[in-house]
Structure 1
């Protein structure tokens, strides 16, 4: 793989460009490949090809779209270990976590294959209104056309699956722009879809600089929908350029958890450590803020730190590694500065706070104030703050004191407290008796406030990627 030039995937063909960039592994800097850099003309060609292919895709019977997706599932199962190693190398994801991502990716495409055959409409009782007598009303859903999908580095197979799966299930075509650090996974999934029988042009993969390609991707009137997972700042720019076209935005978060005094800490602590530090905290719903009742606060902190000390930091291809490098050294330097600023403002380091190149050690912060960057912004790093509270209402107010609202968790054995929290927490999802990092791939997933809008989860994404049409028939004509 080292040094090989990878091309764009346009109209079912591989197109190598003279202009390339070096793709290097986050952990050790190994040269993985040279990646072709598309320009605006390449984007136009890709959109044109996707527009032509839409005529085929929209007429493809549902069972055939389903069969293509099921073949993708089978091919991924056969190449699962190969795919996991690609993720481990290009994203720096520990190999065990990479395998977990591939399992989820397989499930996501399987859900999409199933959903392709149950895109339903309904009948409307037209005579419920005066003047509606003698009429039949019915609805169905139609594909939109060309979808632009822009995906991040942290789940380069599964978050791509959450764009491609529902788009193809519904009969759309896709121009995919993967993150610059993780193009290999997108390119190999293009190979798999081609082998599975997806019509040429239905999937276009454009690699290169997002900054350079954004206008061409976002302003072309032939694009009917934009689906983006990434930062809130970029999401706002996309929204400005999208106009009246459909947009799904999965943006940032600083996920929080409330821990009530009646829970068994032996059950809670391992999940909390996992939620805070999996993939070095580079997960949209990584556990960033923990609010623990004051009566168990000291014990919780002690046990949490003891458990976190057991995590192994190292090579992502090592079977025993729990945490590896962050995606870029500049990201490790960023979080290092955030932690230093917090300490200078009165926070204490309970564990960690050490950077070694692109690796940042698992870090626990205490005495954190609400206005510190490590609390009010998205850390996207292996850093967690633990804060005491007195009453549940106080904890909910601290949870809601955020511009984000994606997933929030609460551990409690009190059903009234659980339902009260679910009602009053401002988020897209409230996870009771588990960490906010919990997600399965068919559930509705999305946020409020600056966490974005629209929902993923295959059934819900299909709805976002189709248009509802009403047909009214006058029967006594």
Structure 2
């Protein structure tokens, strides 16, 4: 099936089948994905109906028993093969990313490298699943007994993935869930159906039993039906804060891992290497057209250095190549659709009307927004207080370090921040005071290692997305109490 998905049909449109009840489905109602750069149909997905959600949940409940009986070593071996296969098929799936999302080929290849790493880390975490011998005999009432625990599969997991990194974020959710021994239902983003189908097919081709995963395409109504299904034990969702709230309402009393929005700040202090900071912010503020929850959005620069930094950043941004995402030299492709590009451009215009200046960019061609720098926007401008999620970076001055930390914390989001300084005192203060899930020192907010805990606070969600922590979320602790049988002694 992987070959069928990644190789276009005679009309050049990739097929994105659903997988329900152990069978690939490519008939029934379909939805075409129009590529944001080509403006042509690039993939065709089989859209789920309400009955499909119920059927998938019922099948997953029964299938979870057989998946859970696979030894951790068996799951790990399959995940290792999936990692190797992702590395071999990286160009094929990166091409789908370029077509469906306008993501530059170089970014897509990087994402597939991360998919391979993620599956490999999930394999390692499968091998670490175990339990504890509890110190029950340390208290008088426990003398003469033995108690053990182990981490058992939760049963049925639901993975709802976003469009901006659909391959790697699916690898995180599906890989960790399979490592834990669950049967997983994947609800794919409508903007990346073929990429999602390719990752699911990749795991099956690596040897995962068909009972391990199902894939449904569709909109919010299918996601809501799956969230409400009583068979689902745990839900992992990545997306906007507003949709995350809807997921929580539909889910009710289920275990949730929510990785939501961001409004990432990066602080550049007076002892920073300005040229290096500007280059880093340019490279990480516009990768994937800024469509990342940790993309560089707000850069606070110590006031005496502001103009120098703006000039350096502007020069770096002007050097970025904008164009066809299938061109290996392209740095910035298109955004997910024309409406998204128009929204970001309108926010830039609003900032200029409030006194800001655009030093580069500020124009678009369809869904392609030319990389834009907005200098000194008003503190209440949309580009400052809302999540831009686009190819735009703002630059603002600050005078006092403690005050700029408070300014950063004024956001309703708290996912990740960057800090350029050599001052260990500032580093420790920022680590303690910033209301974020992670701080990157001498790097921008947009840096992530897939085996390191990742997640936020406040409206950026809760839970941590890295295989180790996700396996904990995807499992339950089961206790065995042996009364009158002690490994500790009876007196």
Give the TM-score range, shorter chain.
over 0.9
> Quick check: 1:230–1:251 contact (8 Å CA) kept in 2?
yes
Cα contact 1:10–1:201 (8 A) shared by 2: no
Q: Residue in 2 aligned with 1:242? A: 251
Q: Which residue of 2 aligns with 1:393?
A: 402
Any idea what the Cα deviations from partners look like across 1:261-290, whole Å, max 9, x if unmatched? Answer: 011122222111112111110011000000
Deviation at 1:6, TM superposition (A): 3.5
Alignment pair present for 1:90 and 2:100:
yes
Aligned to 1:455: 464
**Residues 95-144 of structure 1: CA deviation (Å, up to 9, x unaligned):** 01111000001000000011111013222222333422223232211110
Return the offset for 1:465.
Answer: 0.7
Match of 2:437? 428
Stretch deviating more after TM superposition (280-289 or 50-59): 50-59
Instruction: Look up the SS of the partner of 2:383 in the other structure.
Output: helix
1:216 to 225, 239, 249: 225
Cα deviations across residues 310-336 of structure 1 (Å, max 9, x unaligned)? Answer: 011100011111111110001011111
- The reply on whether 1:45 has 2:55 as its aligned counterpart is yes
Give the drift of 1:47: 1.5
Are residues 1:347 and 2:356 paired?
yes
Q: Distance in 2 between matches of 1:53 and 1:30?
A: 39
Report if aligned partners of 1:39, 1:212 keep a CA contact under 8 Å in 2.
Answer: no
1:223-247, Cα deviation, whole Å (9 max, x unpaired): 1011100000000011112221101
- Aligned position for 1:24: 34
Q: 1:204 offset after TM fit, Å?
A: 0.3
Alignment partner, residue 280 of structure 1: 289
Structure 2 partner of 1:126:
136
Question: CA offset at residue 152 of structure 1?
Answer: 0.6
Aligned positions of 1:407-422 closer than 5 A: 407-422=416-431
Partner of 2:124: 114
Whether the 8 Å contact between 2:86 and 2:113 is mirrored in structure 1 is no
Structure 1: 5+ residue stretches without partners: none
1:291 and 1:6 mapped to 2: Cα distance? Answer: 43
Q: 1:72 aligns with which of 82, 91, 113?
A: 82
Query: Distance between the aligned counterparts of 2:284 and 2:202, measured in 1?
Result: 31
TM-score (norm 1): 0.97
User: Which residue in 1 is equivalent to 2:195?
Assistant: 185
Measure, in 1, the Cα distance between the counterparts of 2:166 and 2:88: 18
Give yes or no for contact 2:177–2:471 (8 Å, CA) kept in 1.
Answer: yes
Taking the aligned partners of 1:400 and 1:223, their CA distance within structure 2 comes to 35
1:324 equivalenced with 2:342 (yes/no): no
* CA deviation profile, 1:331-355 (whole Å, cap 9, x unmatched): 0111111112222222221221111
1:154-195 residue CA offsets vs partner (Å, 9 max, x unmatched): 111100001011100000011101110101111112222222
**Aligned mate of 2:383, from 374, 377, 394:** 374
**For residues 174-225 of structure 1, what are the alpha-carbon distances to aligned partners after superposition, in whole Å with 9 as ceiling and x for unaligned?**
110111010111111222222222112211010122x231332111100101
2:299 and 2:207 map into 1 onto residues whose CA distance is: 47
Q: Is the 8 A contact 1:53 1:199 kept in 2?
A: no
Greater CA drift, 195-204 or 165-174 = 195-204
Task: Render the CA deviation track for 1:398-419: whole Å, top value 9, x for unaligned.
Answer: 1101000001111111101100
* Preserved CA contact (<8 Å) 2:357 2:374: yes
Q: 2:324 aligns with which of 278, 291, 315?
A: 315
Q: Structure 1 residue 431: deviation in Å?
A: 1.2
Deviations 1:371-396 (A, max 9, x none): 21111110000111111111110110
Distance of 1:272 and 1:18 partners within structure 2: 46
CA distance in 2, matches of 1:396, 1:248: 27
Post-superposition offset of 1:18: 2.3
Deviations 1:59-96 (A, max 9, x none): 11111111111111122122121111111111111001
- In structure 1, how many angstroms separate the alpha carbons of the residues matched to 2:394 and 2:15? 43
- More deviation, 456-465/21-30: 21-30
Give the Å deviation of 1:476: 5.1
Query: Aligned partners of 1:476, 1:373: CA distance in 2, in Å?
Result: 65
RMSD: 1.4
Q: Does 1:203 align with 2:184?
A: no
Verify the 8 A CA contact 2:155 2:183 in the aligned structure 1.
yes
Question: Does the 8 Å contact 2:67/2:182 carry over to 1?
Answer: yes
Aligned counterpart for 1:298 among listed residues 296, 299, 307: 307
Q: Answer whether contact 1:249 1:452 (CA < 8 A) is retained.
A: yes
